[in-house]
Amino acid sequence: MEEAIGQSLPIAVGVLVSPFPIVALVLMLVSRRAGSNGTAFVLGWLAGIFVLGTLVALLAGGAGSGGQDTPLWAVLLKIFLGALLLLLAVRSWQGRPAEGESAPVPNWMATIDAFNAFKAFGVGVLLGTVNPKNLLLVISAGTTIATATSETNQQIVAVAVFTVVASLGVLVPFGIYLVAGERAAGLLDGIKAWMIAYNAVIMTVLLSVLGVKMLGDGVASF
């Protein structure tokens, strides 16, 4: 189990440093329904990552036993996922704002103040698992965990640890809000502005590193 956790943690870092989910949460935490919407968003984020990661790990584990010999399908999948992550890194860099321009923010974020808890939960699930970058990373983590251990209980525990680490990016701002309340607005707004400004650079670096790691792991397993 230690190997499964250790191999998935670098991927978790790629999920936790996700600028737009953090921005969305911060906007909720300064909205009219800050407490209920912020809580619902975090629960949706946690549930989405854990459920998807567990399903991938269990399905991948059922397709081949964990252990010293990595199945060929897992090797090819790692290479494929690594290549996709590198492609996303290139697209992220190409989509960066020109010098002097402001980074674009999704239009739907302007409607966050009108969200209820149900919508906030749904957005948490979507941003945690359905957006292309996180979808690839969670699938990569589930595959990595499945090839590191064949024990179902160990896979579930490893996914749980992965989920917590991958969620620190939203748990920390939420914790700041719980401790400081409205006094945290200035700090949270600073976090939001920084994440938006450096979104392209952050994602390019992370996706490049993780893409190279997945490719390297796959090639080394041949």
pLDDT 10s digits, 109-118: 778 888 999 9
Tell me how far apart the alpha carbons of residues 137 and 96 are, in angstroms, rounded to a whole number: 21
- At 42-65, the pLDDT tens digits run 999 999 999 999 999 998 876 554
164-185 pLDDT, tens per residue? 999 998 999 899 888 887 777 7
Cβ atoms within 10 A of the Cβ of 59, count?
12
Q: What number is the average pLDDT over the span 193-215?
A: 82
Residue 200 is predicted with a pLDDT of: 81
Tracing tokens 């670098």 back to the chain, one arrives at 10
**pTM for the full predicted model:** 0.83
Both tokens of 92, joined, read 């992220």
Largest CA distance in the chain: 54
Q: What is residue 150's DSSP assignment?
A: -
In angstroms, rounded to a whole number, what is the distance separating the alpha carbons of residues 53 and 156? 9
- DSSP codes, 40-67: HHHHHHHHHHHHHHHHHHHHHHHHS--S
The helix (H) or strand (E) run that includes residue 176 is: helix 168-180
Among 27-31, 72-76, 123-127, 154-158, name the one with the lowest average pLDDT: 72-76
